[in-house]
A and B are shown apart, each in its own frame.
Chain A
Amino acid sequence: MPNFGLLITEFLIAGLGFVVLIADFSIPWRSRRAHNLTLALLASIGLIFIAIYSFANRSVDPEHLYEQLIFVDGFSLIFKILAMGIGAAVTLISIDYVYRKIRNPGEFYALIIFAVLGADLVASSGELLTAYISIEVMAFCLYVLVAISRGDGRSAEAAVKYILLGSLSSALMLLGIAILFGAIGETTFRYMESVMSALLGGSGNDPSMTVILGLALFFAGIGFKLSLVPFHLWAPDVYEGAPTPITAFIAVLSKAAVIALLIRFLAEAGYRSMDDWQLPLAILAAGTMTIGTLTALVQQNIKRLFAYSSIAQVGFILVGLISLNENGVNAVILHMCGYAVTNLAAFSVIMAIEVGQGDESIEGFSGLASRSPFMAMVMASSLFSLAGLPIYAGFVTKFLLFTSAVQAGLTWLMVVAVVNSLISLYYYIRIIKQMYVYEAVNSVRVSPSIVASIPIWLLFIGMVLIGIYPLPLMTAIDSATNALGPFLG
């Protein structure tokens, strides 16, 4: 009898989702505002409590269920908490948006919770099929969430594109998994390792084309979820068409989860054949950040710009991942946390502008500094953070990422990364110029409600705190990656 107690976090999250759904239809709501606010607070506070509970009851030793299908260790814990934090933050910052634009808040918040559950399982899975199913759990919630603005044509269009391309990529991934299983006879990461490194050219054999094909298909699927170049073309359209809270949610949650999966896969199944992975992944990373950065330069729509900027950010993350040493993996997780906080802060401002003045163009930001100084400051800070400037999170996390790349002997990749980081500053400055230098075209004072401005403050403080004092977070991350420790080169 497996120890189901280990899955308490997942049960709680699923339960919370159902509670939100039941509350949605069973309580006779008097006003839409109360309806929306109650559900949002229920969802976010519930997630926060589950996060605190699972942290307080964490097990010291890494444990696993069903013969290593699902890991319950420090590494999955930190990503679970990150996912729940993202879910809670997205719920809180989107209260105003949902009230104005979305007719069915119950489904909206419940699907966010279920997506968090999916992400949570992705980060815990230690086997290919479990990973696949978990990714699908997350992806199906996201498909529906993208389409949730009923009546908005762009939302529907984005959803169709997302579903079609998403299922194609899932099919490819599944095919890859099938081929790998055929060649290796195993789908559990830890047991795949020895056969795979032998088949990839270890101990003097010729590399097996079957394994390479399987891996290539598997990575294509992963690449789609992460919007790596050349699998990124869906991202701008989906980001632009989706309701803005969901854009933010996709941009951070699905990436955090898949990155966790990738780290675990590489650390457990690929550490001995890492030398073979390194160059292809490095080229992927260089291409992703370069194309993301260069395409972002010419965007006029703020959500499209963030789509390309987040593509570039994944490239940076990959830089740290490739080194696959303890520093690199720590830096990746720290960057992921900083990136989540920064992006959510930026999106909360984008959302406020969209709700306030119905504008998604970069010109919509003009004169924001004189209209809403606080929102302008948060936006400018997040942009500086994304560009990697102190005192914000982006500076220290990028510094550590790039350091790990040089430690892995990939100096050229670090040079590509810093140059891209520089180019990105140019398009971030375009927005800052609109906010601070130009006169306002639109005179609407964008001011979020009190409930919505508290999470923005918290995100802003988090962004600065990671930038100037990352030690507590880094210590937590460090002990989390110790769970993978023996497998990191």
Chain B
Amino acid sequence: MDRYILEILIFLPALTAALLMVTPAAWVMAIRWVSISAGALLMFASAYVFIGFDQNSSADDFQFVKEYEWLESVGIGFSLGVDGIAALMVLLTGIVSVTGLVVATNVVKQPKNYYILLFALIAGVYGTFVSIDLFFFFFFYELAIVPMYLLIAVWGSSSKFKNFSRTKEYSALKLVLMIVAASVLVWIGVITIYVQTGSLTFNMLELRELIQSSDAPLSKDFQNIVFPLMMIGFGLLAGLWPFHTWSPDGHVAAPTSVSMLHAGVLMKLGAFGIIRVGMTLLPEGFETWSLALLILGTINVVYGAVSALSQTDLKYVIGYSSVSHMGYVLMGIGTVDIIGLTGASLQMFSHGVMTALFFAIVGAIYERTHTRDTLVLNGLSARMGWASGFFIVAGLASLGLPGLSGFVSELLVFIGTFRTEPILGALGIIGAAITATYILRLIGRVFFGPIDPKWESLKDLSPKEFGVGAFLLTPIVVVGIFPAPFLDVIRPSVDVILRGMS
């Protein structure tokens, strides 16, 4: 198992999708059980990668490395491997996928196609995290994006607000065109890096060695031009301001399980791409542009929080809070500091789990009340005790309450920022304060206070939903109380990346 673990991560969801394709659409229960079992297996495999990752091995930062020939003549190989950050992301993908697949059982319209697309997306996400070949990194990156269009446009919901409306087709098209447009920049970057290094290889480990060697095939000017392409191209998927507008609209239109995967893991691909491709292959370009990234990240934090403050739709609030929280990740990357970057990596994990929990609970509330309007919902804790509990813990984690995961990662990012740009650190803390305001206000309004008579008959979470909530809650608490094992996995890899900088 050890030898093929990364292949399992990619091919298990791919083969499940293929299996579902030939299953008759009427066998709904079989489709659900096959999907959930595949999700559970993926969860085990992901946990295996994370636990099996040897943080003390000093020899090489990439583990479980496997290489297959693919197109030898141009230097493309199917190469897999994980470093500490990727191992953590694999774990995150496992957690979010399995819960997303369980939540997806509430889809009644064409469940077969829904699951096929979800598995394609999951295969793409895993593939991106574990590929060390630049071509396949990009291949899986695009694979993860494509299904989003159909998932939102077919299964999503259109919303009408007081002074504007968002149809699902509009949101889906906006999301896909913006992300693919950004990936065009990545595409240009990938090909120019490959051609410029002049060695016939797409293997990122070999490219890294070449680029950081004394030959330095990529001149500083070249890196300064190409890095912004990567920064915007990948950054857009991470919600980088001012290219974040697809994200809240997409969240609002998407069905619950897609929102969970989208905010939980898909947005992480962007930040991960900046670290894996941008920082590693274009170190000098990154140094030039890191301050810009740090500033944009700070804007993300503050702008996202301010926007969330004025929203009255639960999903828009969470959508903008995602933009704001991804800002911490971008800030952490922009610090070029070991503590900041460690914080950024942990924040990716922490935000992924937290936001998946948010969307799962919001989805459960919406299913019962058919509204997400925070001005209409009130006093839900009286009838939906568990739902309120889960939402409140996720909320507290997102505003950085000590003892929960958000605190650890945000603290690390702030320390990193204060060590490099104190002013931006202070601005970031203001952003965190605004976060506290809107989260607490939201909790107070929606969950506490007198309950409206029309919500009297609401039922609390079903066992299935409770299971999802509890499963997502566990990592939030574990990371909050006991972050050391997670940090130990990340830190050596962060060390290697930053050593490549100087």
Contacts and interface: CB of A to CB of B under 8 A. Distances in A.
Contacts of B140: 390
A384 B149 CA distance: 12
Interface string A418-454: 1101100110010011001100000000000000000
B253 to A, nearest CB: 12
A330 interface: yes
A226 interface: no
A389 B146 contact: yes
Contact of B153 (A373, A384, A436, A470): A436
Interface stretch (A236-244, A350-358, A401-409): A401-409
Interface residues of B, number: 33
Contacts of A407: 195
Contact of B139 (A330, A369, A390, A415): A390
A474 interface: yes
| Residue of A373, A400, A403, A421 with most partner-chain B CB within 10 A | A403
A478 B73 CA distance: 9
A277 B141 CA distance: 36
B70 interface: yes
| Residue of B143, B154, B168, B184 with most partner-chain A CB within 10 A | B184
Contact of A429 (B69, B138, B149, B195): B149
A436 B150 contact: yes
Interface string A386-397: 000111000110
Interface string B169-195: 100010011001100100110011011
B71 interface: yes
B54 interface: no
A399 interface: yes
B143 A422 contact: no
Contact of B73 (A395, A418, A474): A474
Contacts of A470: 71
Nearest to A407: B195
Interface string B144-159: 0010011001100000
Contacts of A414: 188, 191
A384 B145 CA distance: 12
B187 A402 contact: yes
B25 interface: yes
A327 interface: yes
A16 to B, nearest CB: 35
Contacts of B139: 390-391, 395-396
A437 B169 contact: yes
Given A391-B143, A399-B135, A471-B69, A406 B153 contact: no
Contact of B192 (A370, A406, A425): A406
Nearest to B112: A373
Contacts of A432: 149-150
B128 to A, nearest CB: 11
Contacts of B184: 418-419, 421-422
A424 to B, nearest CB: 11
A373 B24 CA distance: 11
Given A406-B195, A414-B188, A425-B180, A390 B70 contact: no
Given A327-B73, A389-B146, A436-B153, A429 B188 contact: no
A414 B173 CA distance: 25
Determine chain B's interface SS by DSSP, over half rule.
helix
Contact of B142 (A330, A373, A389, A406): A389
A346 B153 CA distance: 22
B26 interface: no
B74 interface: yes
A411 interface: yes
Given A389-B146, A399-B135, A437 B70 contact: no
B149 A471 contact: no
A236 B176 CA distance: 29
Contact of B71 (A391, A415, A471): A471
A433 B150 CA distance: 8
Interface string B92-111: 00000000000000000010
A396 B78 CA distance: 13
B191 A402 contact: yes
A230 B135 CA distance: 35
B277 to A, nearest CB: 15
Interface in B468-494: none
B180 A422 contact: yes
Nearest to A409: B195
A400 B188 contact: no
Interface string A169-180: 000000000000
Contacts of B146: 384, 389-390
Contacts of A437: 153-154, 168-169
B71 A474 contact: yes
Contacts of A399: 135, 138, 187, 191
Interface in B16-70: 25, 69-70
Given A400-B74, A471-B69, A433 B191 contact: no
Nearest to A474: B71
Contacts of B180: 422, 425
Interface in A334-371: 369-370
B479 to A, nearest CB: 33
B186 to A, nearest CB: 10
Contacts of A418: 184, 187-188
B26 to A, nearest CB: 12
A411 B196 CA distance: 11
Contacts of A370: 110
Given A406-B191, A406-B195, A432-B150, A426 B177 contact: yes
A403 B74 contact: yes
A390 B142 contact: yes
Nearest to B154: A436
Contacts of A373: 25, 113
Nearest to A391: B143
A403 B188 contact: no
A327 B194 CA distance: 14
Contacts of B142: 389-390, 395
Contacts of B113: 369, 373
B390 to A, nearest CB: 33
Given A429-B149, A471-B71, A411 B192 contact: yes
Nearest to B18: A464
B113 to A, nearest CB: 8
Contacts of A395: 139, 142
B169 A415 contact: no
B181 A330 contact: no
Contacts of B150: 432, 436
A384 B180 CA distance: 12
Interface string B193-231: 011000000000000000000000000000000000000
B214 to A, nearest CB: 25
Interface string A236-257: 0000000000000000000000
A390 B195 contact: no
Contacts of B71: 396, 400, 470-471, 474
B18 to A, nearest CB: 10
A466 B251 CA distance: 34
Given A399-B135, A418-B188, A422-B180, A433 B169 contact: yes
18 contacts: A327-B73, A327-B74, A389-B146, A390-B142, A391-B143, A396-B139, A399-B187, A402-B191, A403-B194, A422-B177, A422-B181, A433-B169, A436-B150, A437-B154, A471-B69, A471-B70, A471-B71, A474-B71
Given A399-B138, A402-B187, 17 more contacts: A327-B73, A373-B113, A389-B143, A390-B139, A395-B142, A396-B71, A400-B71, A403-B195, A406-B191, A406-B195, A422-B184, A425-B176, A425-B177, A426-B177, A429-B149, A437-B154, A478-B73
Interface of B: 25, 69-71, 73-74, 110, 113, 135, 138-140, 142-143, 146, 149-150, 153-154, 168-169, 173, 176-177, 180-181, 184, 187-188, 191-192, 194-195
Closest A-B pairs by Cβ, 6 of them? A406-B195, A390-B143, A437-B153, A418-B184, A390-B139, A422-B184
